[in-house]
């Protein structure tokens, strides 16, 4: 009887699959699960900061602090649960931030076009934009943020 083959990490990454990958077995699905958890955490971070400093410094401060906290949580979850790479922590974090912030800017831009120029309703527009950004982010994180060179 042969052992089931363990899927190798994509894009030349090194390291064993993360704990979530041992349960889910599909990296894209694991990415979506972590993204859902991350979305809930982001909401929680915003609420926390709004309650702590919102009255004094305004909701924009709560958004920024919530975003910064959430980026760090998302990085940790994707790095250890989905992509499972070792080494290059600061490089991975800076690349993760580039992809994450790029998605944030693309989200705002696409929403502006959809709502202000094409007059689409905001909620359905955001749902479509979020779906597009999830796909783009998956490939950005996999192929840029957590990419490792393959050994030749």
Residue 2 within a domain: no
CA distance 36 to 30: 10
Residue 1 within a domain: no
Q: Specify the higher pLDDT residue, 37 or 43.
A: 37
- Return the residue matching tokens 């609420």: 47
Arithmetic mean of pLDDT, 73-79? 92
Residue 13 within a domain: no
CA distances from 84 to 30, 91, 138, 146 (A): 12, 15, 14, 9
Residue 58 within a domain: yes
- Return the residue matching tokens 């090194």: 14
Arithmetic mean of pLDDT, 83-97? 87
Domain that holds residue 130: 19-145
Is the pLDDT score of 17 beyond 70?
no
How many domains does the chain divide into? 1
| pTM for this entry | 0.72
Question: pLDDT tens, 97-141?
Answer: 999 899 888 888 998 898 899 998 888 888 888 888 888 888 888
CA distances from 52 to 60, 71, 80, 149 (A): 13, 19, 30, 43
**Predicted local confidence at residue 123, as pLDDT:** 83
Residue 48 within a domain: yes
Residue 102 within a domain: yes
Please, which pLDDT band fits residue 142 given cuts at 50, 70 and 90?
A: confident
Residue 7 within a domain: no
């Amino acid at each position: 009887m042969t052992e089931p083959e363990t899927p190798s990490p994509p894009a030349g990454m090194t390291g064993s699959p993360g704990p979530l990958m041992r349960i889910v077995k599909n990296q894209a699905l694991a990415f979506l699960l972590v993204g859902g958890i991350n979305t809930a955490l982001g909401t929680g971070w915003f609420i926390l900061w709004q309650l702590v400093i919102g009255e004094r410094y305004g909701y924009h401060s709560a958004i920024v602090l919530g975003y910064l906290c959430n980026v760090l949580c998302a990085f940790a979850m994707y790095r250890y649960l989905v992509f499972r790479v070792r080494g290059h922590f600061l490089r991975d974090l800076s690349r993760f931030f580039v992809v994450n912030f790029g998605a944030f800017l693309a989200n705002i831009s696409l929403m502006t076009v959809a709502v202000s120029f094409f007059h689409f309703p905001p909620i359905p527009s955001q749902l479509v934009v979020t779906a597009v950004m999830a796909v783009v982010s998956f490939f950005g994180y996999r192929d840029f943020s957590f990419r490792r060179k393959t050994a030749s």
